[in-house]
Structure 1
Amino acid sequence: MNAMIRPRNPCLAALLLAAVASAASAQVPSIWREQQLEAMDKSDAIMQRAHDQKGLLAQYQVMRRAYAADGKPAFRAIFGQYLSWYQSFLGDYRDAELAFSIQQKPLADDNPSPLAQPGWHHLRALDYIPQLAKQYRVVFLNEAHNIALTRTLTVRLLKPLREEGFNVFAVETLYQPDMAAMKERGYPIAKSGFYTREPIYAEMVRTALKLGYKVVAYEADPDRTGDAREVQQAKHLWKILKDDPHAKLVVNAGYGHIQKTGQFLGAQSMAEHFVKDSGINPLSVEQTILIPHLDGSMNHPDYDAIIGAVHPDRPIVFVDKDGKPWSLRPGYDVSVIFPEEHFVNGRPTWAGLWGARVPYTVNGTVCQDHWPCMVAAFYADEGEDAIPADRMVLDPVPLMTIDDIKITSGNYSIPTGQLYLRPDQRYRLVISSERGQRIGSQTITVKSSDKSLTSAPPDSPRAAICSVAAVGQAAIQPVPCQNR
């Protein structure tokens, strides 16, 4: 199997569980499960076919058209998550959330809301969690794999946790064969892991490397599924600590893998196995439940109440008068509540990593009417194989529009987008076509205030013949507008 294709086994149970919960509870379970397994076979085949295409955008086009061609609920429930991974890889975070989200329903064992109890108050998670972590040798942080929002705080926590002595960063789904080379390069590439293709995930790994963490893979063998996967992951983590008595470990994992007690997919979680093997009680930080959804009906009721009462602009936690943290669910030590989402030019402002990055506006004239086009910002000191710091797709037609719309003549609005980049850094901005062909590139330096790549107004009409050159490049000959 291509190393860049996500192996099915590690997420099989989670996919089935999420799909059952969201799609067809009225169906006979055995029939629904059979339909899901068929859908997974089809999804794997589509993903393999997509990877025959050159370039991430071309791969995504294969996948979105396959999604549109099959409206069966089982297929949509399964393949929607596959599709959402790739949307997040492209920086299309809004569509990634729309393609696959898990409704957060209240459970019988949820703890009472801190709003309903005296003595609880909120603090910024970035300030509180590193202080709480002083008491621990191991910190578990979870994420929702297709919702990059749930990685943003982890990126920011790495520095203060490093200052508290944490020195090993263990990351789910990294590929062991690239670990030595990645350490030498100092940045991840597509072959470093499955989710490293998503820019904020890559920024998380890159940040850890720059801070001096030892970045390690702890994924189970491909043939380990279900509880066997949890067991082997836990053993890999415990071995890190046994081999190095000075190691202090930060672990990135998905969803409920970090819950320390309670039923997990009919068995035990990685965290529970880890506690049993090591005797070490880790700090478990939950980041996937109290998050915003574009469809507000999918929010946990406590989320809406907390946001309505507090209106946070950064991720927060609640603590009591003695400094003890609040957790929504048993099995976790503290729950993070993320602010409401805000979008500018279709992109979420949380891509700014809570103040670490600033918006950099790019006008679609740089695409020279090759639609859709990808705009990616690479750190100037990293190679062509690096995952960019951020990327986005510009197109007058929304990416999830399925019809083969041709843009060849007449007036239309040139799209504008915003990349989110660290200030006072040099970047190599690369513009490429759907087929991965380079349209233009230039080096930019991002300042603390928003800069624009071009002064052309975002709504300027364009005619059938296109002759726009990227800023800093010589004018090119007019070229025909490209079809979608």
Structure 2
Amino acid sequence: MAFGAWKAGLCLFLVTAAVAQEPSQADLAAADAARKAVEEGRYLDAERTLRRAAFDDKGVAKPGYAYDQWMEIHGLLDGEPGPAIPEPDARIDAEQQAAIARLKAATPHDALATIVAQAKTHRLVILNEDHASPRDRAFGWQVARALRPLGYDVLGIETLNNVADDREAAGMMATLLREGYAHRVSTGYYVRDPVFADFVRQALMVGYRPVAYETTDHTPKGDVIARIEAREQAQANFIVRRALQRNPNSKILLYVGFHHVTENPTDMDGKKVSWLATRLKAMTGIDPLTIDQTTLNANGAGEPTLYAAVADRIVTRPAVMFADGTPLVVGHYAGLVDLQVAHPRTTRIGGRPDWLLAMGRTPTPIPAKLLPKKGQRLVQAFVTGETNAIPVDQVVVTAGRSAPVLMLPKAPVTFVVQDAGAVPKP
């Protein structure tokens, strides 16, 4: 099941990017080796494997699939994805200039307050993420927590491992709910991110019931658009049966990747493509509240030029930009979602991202006995009592350099270390 979840992630890269050139066999092999390393809890080995594929001998990043995968692994170790590679000869076209002008004239409103106000009149909320951005998952937890008092108690998560049989899938979700935390091997690919795992842990703790809905058929069929349509329909079918029909009195939060959030057809190669939210709307008549948080972002798949137009006005809390009293959506998601969230610039507390505080964390010095005397060491903190689990936090420490802090929860933790050899080249 874990391999199937990884294949779905690879499929997502291929279809959402609509790449003309598929990854090389060497890059696929590196990604597969890294996947296995993460599945075994060897995060440092995973990062180094992808680093060799993503950078040349001089340490210069090579654009493409391997670098995108390295960005994700970097996020698991640092909290922030690796820096995006600037596009050569990137120019601001007329459409972007118009979007920048609208953003500069817009007014920021508190994102959580805006989402809660609008979610009161909806049964279904769909929030997307950039798969390379742990910060998106921290915000996902903030949204889930804010919606819980409104009666939202079902949480559909794209990354959860899935099976075709509804009864078997329900049993898997019952086990996850009973145990209260994600397992490193059996729960899902992206949830091996410590921030994502804690999103799941805390959501279960406050009463959410999980639903798995990823497609279970990963056999390539037809062209890119045909594969998108097959996957989106399979996901929609699972959600209708397992979330909406099985829980007729519940309100539902779906946490999805990228374009699955779009509730109107998108254009791709001259054809109209209906993604998940569009299909759910057509199948059920339910108008979802759809939220993008991947565009107004300086990292990952964000659009730095657009983000720069608002960043200085978003200081401490995520915001939704309003123009003439209406939420403003720009970039690839204009006309496709209801709300668009912009996050404040990340600042560092003891070398760690400040937004981890929103997960209920406390900056805590690493015990001196865990610090490396040479090379690098990954210091991990696990919630005490969890087995085969994902660390609640982890950080790379380099001998001879100032050690970053751990961002720890209130729960008791157990420390684990992984050593590495020489410091890799950037």
Bin for the TM-score computed over the shorter chain = 0.7 to 0.9
Is 1:193 matched up with 2:188?
A: yes
Is 1:352 matched up with 2:357?
A: yes
What secondary structure, in the 3-state scheme, does the structure 1 residue paired with 2:320 have? strand
Aligned CA distance change for structure 1 residues 269 and 56 (closer, same or farther; 3 Å): same
What's 1:88 paired with? 75
Match of 2:231 among 229, 232, 237: 229
Q: 1:39, CA displacement in angstroms? A: 5.2
Contact 1:10 1:222 in 2 (8 A): no
Q: 1:216, CA displacement in angstroms? A: 1.1
User: 1:201 is matched by which residue type in structure 2?
Assistant: F
What's 2:223 paired with? none
Contact 1:361 1:419 in 2 (8 A): yes
Separation of aligned partners in 2, 1:125 and 1:106: 28
Which residues of 2 match residues 455-470 of structure 1 at below 5 A? none
What's 1:280 paired with? 286
What's 1:215 paired with? 210
Separation of aligned partners in 1, 2:4 and 2:397: 25
Separation of aligned partners in 1, 2:91 and 2:380: 33
Q: 1:44, CA displacement in angstroms? A: 4.6
User: 2:371 is matched by which residue type in structure 1?
Assistant: C
What's 2:266 paired with? 263
User: 2:187 is matched by which residue type in structure 1?
Assistant: S
Contact 1:258 1:271 in 2 (8 A): yes
Is 1:293 matched up with 2:299?
A: yes
User: 1:137 is matched by which residue type in structure 2?
Assistant: R
Q: 1:395, CA displacement in angstroms? A: 1.5
Contact 2:327 2:338 in 1 (8 A): yes
Separation of aligned partners in 2, 1:206 and 1:221: 24
What's 1:426 paired with? 411
Aligned CA distance change for structure 1 residues 152 and 4 (closer, same or farther; 3 Å): same
Separation of aligned partners in 2, 1:341 and 1:200: 16
Question: Percentage identity across aligned positions?
Answer: 25
User: 1:56 is matched by which residue type in structure 2?
Assistant: Y
User: 1:196 is matched by which residue type in structure 2?
Assistant: V
Contact 1:19 1:78 in 2 (8 A): no
Q: 1:128, CA displacement in angstroms? A: 2.0
Q: 1:52, CA displacement in angstroms? A: 9.3
What's 1:59 paired with? 46
TM-score by length of 2: 0.81
Task: List per-residue Cα deviations over 1:160-179 (Å, max 9, x = no partner).
Answer: 20100111000012013642
Q: 1:418, CA displacement in angstroms? A: 1.8
Which residues of 2 match residues 444-459 of structure 1 at below 5 A? none
Structure number with greater Rg is 1
What secondary structure, in the 3-state scheme, does the structure 1 residue paired with 2:177 have? helix
Gaps of 5+ in 2: 163-168, 220-226
Q: 1:258, CA displacement in angstroms? A: 0.4
What's 1:373 paired with? 377
Which has the larger share of helix? Answer: 2
Contact 2:54 2:61 in 1 (8 A): no
User: 2:108 is matched by which residue type in structure 1?
Assistant: H
Q: 1:112, CA displacement in angstroms? A: 7.1
Runs of 4+ in 1 over 6 A off after TM superposition: 51-54, 99-107
Aligned length in residues: 397
Aligned CA distance change for structure 1 residues 252 and 211 (closer, same or farther; 3 Å): same
Contact 2:318 2:344 in 1 (8 A): yes
Q: 1:331, CA displacement in angstroms? A: 0.7
Contact 1:311 1:339 in 2 (8 A): yes
Q: 1:89, CA displacement in angstroms? A: 2.5
Match of 2:114 among 97, 113, 128: 128
Task: List per-residue Cα deviations over 1:45-71 (Å, max 9, x = no partner).
Answer: 544674697733233333333444689
Separation of aligned partners in 2, 1:54 and 1:385: 9
User: 1:59 is matched by which residue type in structure 2?
Assistant: A
Aligned CA distance change for structure 1 residues 320 and 268 (closer, same or farther; 3 Å): same
Aligned CA distance change for structure 1 residues 363 and 291 (closer, same or farther; 3 Å): farther
User: 2:198 is matched by which residue type in structure 1?
Assistant: E
Aligned CA distance change for structure 1 residues 106 and 18 (closer, same or farther; 3 Å): farther
User: 1:3 is matched by which residue type in structure 2?
Assistant: A
What secondary structure, in the 3-state scheme, does the structure 2 residue paired with 1:416 have? coil
Separation of aligned partners in 2, 1:38 and 1:263: 31
Match of 1:325 among 322, 327, 348: 327
User: 1:361 is matched by which residue type in structure 2?
Assistant: P
What's 2:342 paired with? 337
Separation of aligned partners in 1, 2:238 and 2:307: 35
Is 1:164 matched up with 2:150?
A: yes
What secondary structure, in the 3-state scheme, does the structure 1 residue paired with 2:140 have? helix
Q: 1:17, CA displacement in angstroms? A: 5.5
Q: 1:236, CA displacement in angstroms? A: 1.3
Separation of aligned partners in 2, 1:206 and 1:146: 20
Q: 1:302, CA displacement in angstroms? A: 3.2
TM-score by length of 1: 0.72
Contact 1:377 1:427 in 2 (8 A): no
Contact 1:292 1:338 in 2 (8 A): no
Aligned CA distance change for structure 1 residues 318 and 74 (closer, same or farther; 3 Å): closer
Which residues of 2 match residues 109-148 of structure 1 at below 5 A? 114-115=102-103, 121-148=107-134
What secondary structure, in the 3-state scheme, does the structure 2 residue paired with 1:426 have? coil
What's 1:12 paired with? 11
Contact 1:303 1:337 in 2 (8 A): yes
Aligned CA distance change for structure 1 residues 209 and 9 (closer, same or farther; 3 Å): closer
Coordinate RMSD, CA, aligned: 3.4
Aligned CA distance change for structure 1 residues 277 and 81 (closer, same or farther; 3 Å): same
Separation of aligned partners in 1, 2:394 and 2:4: 20
What's 1:476 paired with? none
- Range 257-266 or range 61-70, more displaced: 61-70
